[in-house]
Chains A and B, each alone.
Chain A
């Protein structure tokens, strides 16, 4: 059994047959397609040298505009591109003959004029991010520093690149809706390929409905689920433990919607960060700073909130915030659906409350009570695109000066994202004053025994956990006191 992956490259249909389903888009571009302008800098989605644009039909209807996103080709698995369009750095300039640049695109010309390249290795990725910004493939209205947070440059110090970005004007993205529609698939894509190195048959299943997904999951209880592959991609490129069976949930329309359940938001497991960020930030302003710093443009353009939960990482940034908000997780196995408090999903490091054949279908996020204080803080060595040493979320409701409800959750403090029971107990019923907040903060030592690792020491984690609760208090009770170096840098 084979199966052929079909995608558009500069308007032309490209087919890939007989490939391992864990082949990355980058490998395919640089190998068989000889598109070597797209570079491998890290193979883990952190440097952006492999940035390309991926376009897709959002509804399957070719009257809707194509949705373009800048992504890291190094952790996009090739079957994810089936039925989609790809643009690389080679797509932009006219080429007189192969490998010889002709007239550069205005983005490229701006990079030349502003001396935006030195060694040139990150440059194709930078160009694609800037072009992506020009065509709306890098989120809406983000400052260029944020757009470029996932593009590392070691030479320039970024100034000339930011200067070039200022020259770039918006333009329409290529309209490839009609050719895209022509390569949409009527039946589920399935691939099987013999891995000659490991001697196993690797399979890829891309169900096209919730029912197909449920059936595939039950039939393959050991399968790994892939949404944006920002984590599974690393199992392939870094751990070198590619799963034997992969189920792509990215084609299931039911998982790709944000809806309402009463007053709560219901976010499907296949919803990407970029698709949820506006809705979530508007509803929960406390989330916006953290979400802006979560991953990078390319990561948010690919990764999903469902994936950030389902992989059970102790350092995912969404779970603490969602736990503090009282989110509930919807899990499905066949026809059976159950709903659990999100914090109960995380049993221990590497262990989640998910049965064989079961999968995360959605997360339900309630609206907090009026006047709820909701703060989320992310601490990391670097502000942008870094994994948290500590991620803290506080949802506190104060009535007449007394805390009547408190939900406190941390990432990076334990083997799972975890609530702070002792701290919450100390807060509830106490006055919202510095004195009682400090007392409650001291109780965090009962809730957590953090570890030391390359990101931070246990002492730093414990100290800042306490200090972040104090920060939340100061921001709510003493609004005149500046507490954010980022805000200071933005206004100062």
Chain B
């Protein structure tokens, strides 16, 4: 609170829990925020373009690049033979090539790099490559991969209880299947890297990436140099969503290799179409379910089969498919359960991390089961969902983690009340009875999302804080800013710790030479991990400063307090800048690193048992849609969302994540359709053919609320919860509502065969199928 009598304007103190704008908001809106491609191009900079495979699976018989080398403006052409180190840009398994050798495994795979004086010259040159292929048997679809038995790894099984016996014994049993499409990240800023050679063959790379450390390590491996020879830096990304976790390495490594080989700076920035063809996407899934339940819709046994298209290489597919299994329960207790997960290798671009990381697909599967059980039992789907929620002794997940922080039932009841679920469900039925062409659907679905990297060692973070002698603070940590507001949240944590105005804290670009060995900014973990690491560093500094104050002023350390007015030492208050100056003069170290490792988690992947998650994030959404049974056109009319972010570090930022995640999820399940042709060529590789939501697709009524009682049961940073991924899955309510609208065409006598995305075509075909089967 400002003092009414204050004559000097001071920046009000804003620490955690304040709705502070994004740290770059002013720079965003004025066009002064700098992205990789906006950096002034260094003199002599070369433009790098990657030559691409036109075949899905083939042996390279010959590759004649003489015309490429002779093309105007070309300075250097690099192939696998020019790689001093390892020809590998993969995160884990060493199976992603920087440049193909011998065989190509997907359309768009990188074959060679052209470095030229302009990007136009580089592209024109690359088109002159003469590559002879001998086609090999290719699997484009899951079905084809099954036929060839191509897998990324062995199928995984997670089970608790005797599902087969429970299914046999259940009074009711249904089986079904459905398909869930993939999704392109469509970050507005495409992949981009700018490499500058340094002395001794070292290299600095500006890179739009969520994982600077991995990019650093991979470049070092490609160059055959130690990690310390490579510095990777990222100030901000124009969106990431998982698409810049492992996918940035290819372009960064190509730029770095050119820089080191030519001694000239080099930029590699694919255009939108190249980016969409060359980079991985959300996995598409095929789900089979076999479920037994009682007459009240309570599940007794369930067997789920999850099959995914992983693409050509391993990438992160094992962990992504694991997370699909972890979320195939969502908020529901499954008494006897078997989840089998098949990870199919196809000759398409390797699918990768995308907001939710497999969780959305697993969750969509169980929500489909809830809808199918409700339909079969003739019950309201929300009632079926309620009856199956975790609660009481029903608190053990299929992977044997006990759900200790369950707030799903409260969220659901509060939302059902506030959105007037019951009355609106009746109104929808009345509308459908009165309207022959348009049909409405309403659905309320919960979200329970596990927070932590399921690969346990990744749950660590580092931070670096310098306090300069004038009291200004430089803050650095391993997390990367992609728009999610991580920098401002962590700055708020630092400001809170020192009780200083936010503008005294400078958040500097994420750089591998400031904080080493960082994990990807992924798994919604950015603020959780880095915020705690910053608290650790701040705690060390405050400890040193407190000891200094106690000694110099001759007071007990308990008499020293950091306050918005300054540092209170006994009866005296010293301004923070003055205090820091004095500490400097007294030769106190004003720089500290911080570190954090998430406690409590442990997981055995062999048995798929343990505690992979530190805690769960929860939410619930209710969506209402209308469909046109003549055309399949669909409109989301209204959505109500209640989401638990614990004690929010920044409610405005968190609301933005919730809303944005919901709309992105809605796109995944409605208009965003990836189409590959029979030869494995992606036909939807630009916004002209790949349709993410526009402003007009946002439901006219969208009520989004953070759950006020929210407080993390675990001692996370100021009791907040992760927010990046969970809200995406709130959009499953849209898909369930559409399913319900389609079912109304057959008076809910049959379960629609609706696949995601529910494009107009998918909806119309499902409507016609329901009509046929329901005999209406």
Q: A residues engaging B (CB < 8 A)?
A: 30, 34-44, 46-47, 49, 88-90, 92-93, 95, 99-101, 104, 107-109, 111-113, 115-124, 127, 144-146, 148-149, 151-162, 196-199, 238, 240, 377, 379-387, 389, 453-457, 459-460, 463-464, 467-468, 470-471, 474, 481-486, 488-490, 492
Check if B687 sits within 8 Å of A488, measured CB to CB: no
Stretch at the interface among B94-102, B305-313, B496-504, B632-640: B632-640
Q: List 10 A-B contacts (CB under 8 A).
A: A44-B688, A119-B188, A120-B24, A152-B694, A196-B72, A379-B631, A382-B697, A470-B630, A484-B628, A485-B634
* B interface residues with partner A (beta carbon < 8 Å): 19, 21-22, 24-35, 37-38, 40, 71-73, 118, 120-121, 123-124, 185-190, 236-241, 271-273, 435-438, 482-485, 626-628, 630-635, 637, 652-653, 655-656, 659-664, 671, 673, 675, 683-684, 686-689, 691-700, 702, 704, 759-761, 764-765, 768
With A149-B694, A196-B121, A485-B635 known, 11 other A-B pairs at CB within 8 A are: A92-B30, A104-B26, A108-B29, A111-B28, A119-B188, A121-B35, A121-B238, A157-B664, A197-B71, A460-B764, A460-B765
Query: In the assembled complex, which residues on chain B have CB atoms less than 8 Å from the CB atom of A88?
Result: 31
A130 to B378, alpha carbons, bound, how many Å? 49
Question: From residue B630, how far is it (CB to closest CB) to chain A in Å?
Answer: 4
Pair A151/B631 contact, Cβ less than 8 Å? no
Whether A119 touches B238, Cβ cut-off 8 Å, given contacts A39-B188, A467-B631, is: yes
Whether B683 pairs with A101 at a CB distance below 8 angstroms is no
Q: Are A120 and B626 in contact (CB under 8 A)?
A: no
Q: Which of A38, A149, A456 contacts B695 (CB 8 A)?
A: A149
A34 to B37, CA, bound (A): 11
Residues from chain A with Cβ under 8 Å of B660 in the complex: 118, 154-157
Q: How far is the CB of A251 from chain B (nearest CB, A)?
A: 27
Contacting residues, chain B, for A162 (C-beta < 8 A): 695, 698
When chains A and B are docked, how far (Å) is the Cα of A92 from the Cα of B630?
Answer: 47
Q: Separation in Å of the B632 CB from the closest CB of chain A? A: 8
Shortest distance from the beta carbon of A215 to any chain B beta carbon, whole Å: 32
Q: Which of B31, B691, B692, B760 is in CB contact (< 8 Å) with A38?
A: B31
Q: Across the A-B interface, give the 9 residue pairs with the lowest CB-CB distance, nearest first.
A: A37-B31, A119-B483, A121-B238, A120-B28, A157-B663, A118-B483, A46-B687, A89-B31, A101-B30
Look across to chain B and name the residue whose beta carbon is closest to the beta carbon of A478. Answer: B436
Q: Which residue of A lies closest to B29 (CB)?
A: A108
* Known pairs A42-B272, A460-B761; A155 contacts B435 (CB<8 A): no
Q: Is the CB of A122 within 8 A of B30?
A: no
Check A90 against B30 for contact (C-beta < 8 Å).
yes
Contact call A36/B38, Cβ cutoff below 8 A = yes
CA–CA, A483 and B27, complex, Å: 45
Chain B residues, Cβ within 8 Å of A117: 22, 24-25, 28-29, 483
Once the chains bind, are A486 and B635 in contact (CB under 8 Å)? yes
A193 → B minimal CB distance (Å): 13
In the docked arrangement, what's the CA distance between A156 and B655, Å?
9
Residues of B within 8 A of A389 (CB): 760-761
User: Is the pair B121, A197 in contact by a Cβ cutoff of 8 Å?
Assistant: yes
Option from A41, A112, A120, A457 in Cβ contact (under 8 Å) with B483: A120
A119-B236, A196-B72 known; A482 and B435 CB under 8 Å? yes
A148 touches B694 (CB 8 A): yes
Write the chain B residue with the least CB distance to A117. Answer: B28
* B-side contacts of A159, CB under 8 Å: 659, 698, 702, 704
Which of the residues B26, B35, B626 comes within 8 Å of A485, measured between beta carbons?
B626
Do A453 and B38 contact each other (CB < 8 Å), given the known contacts A120-B33, A157-B659, A467-B630?
no
Cβ distance A189 to chain B, nearest Cβ, rounded Å: 23
The answer for the CA separation of A384 and B693 in the assembled complex, in Å, is: 9
Closest Cβ neighbor of A45 among chain B residues:
B688
**How far, in whole Å, are A116 and B482 apart by their CA atoms in the complex?**
15
- Whether B435 contacts A199 by the Cβ 8 Å rule is no
Query: Which residues in B have their C-beta under 8 angstroms from that of A115?
Result: 19, 21-22, 25, 652-653, 655-656
Nearest neighbor of B438 in chain A, beta-carbon distance: A482
**Cβ A156 vs Cβ B29 within 8 A:** no
Tell me which of A377, A453, A454, A456 has the highest count of chain B C-beta atoms within 10 A of its own C-beta. A454
With A120-B236, A198-B124, A485-B438 already in contact, the answer to whether A453 and B683 are too (CB < 8 A) is yes
Q: Which chain A residues lie closer than 8 Å to B693 at the CB level?
A: 157-158, 382
Pairwise interchain contact B27-A101, C-beta atoms closer than 8 A: yes
Contact of A154 among B188, B627, B764 (CB under 8 A): B188
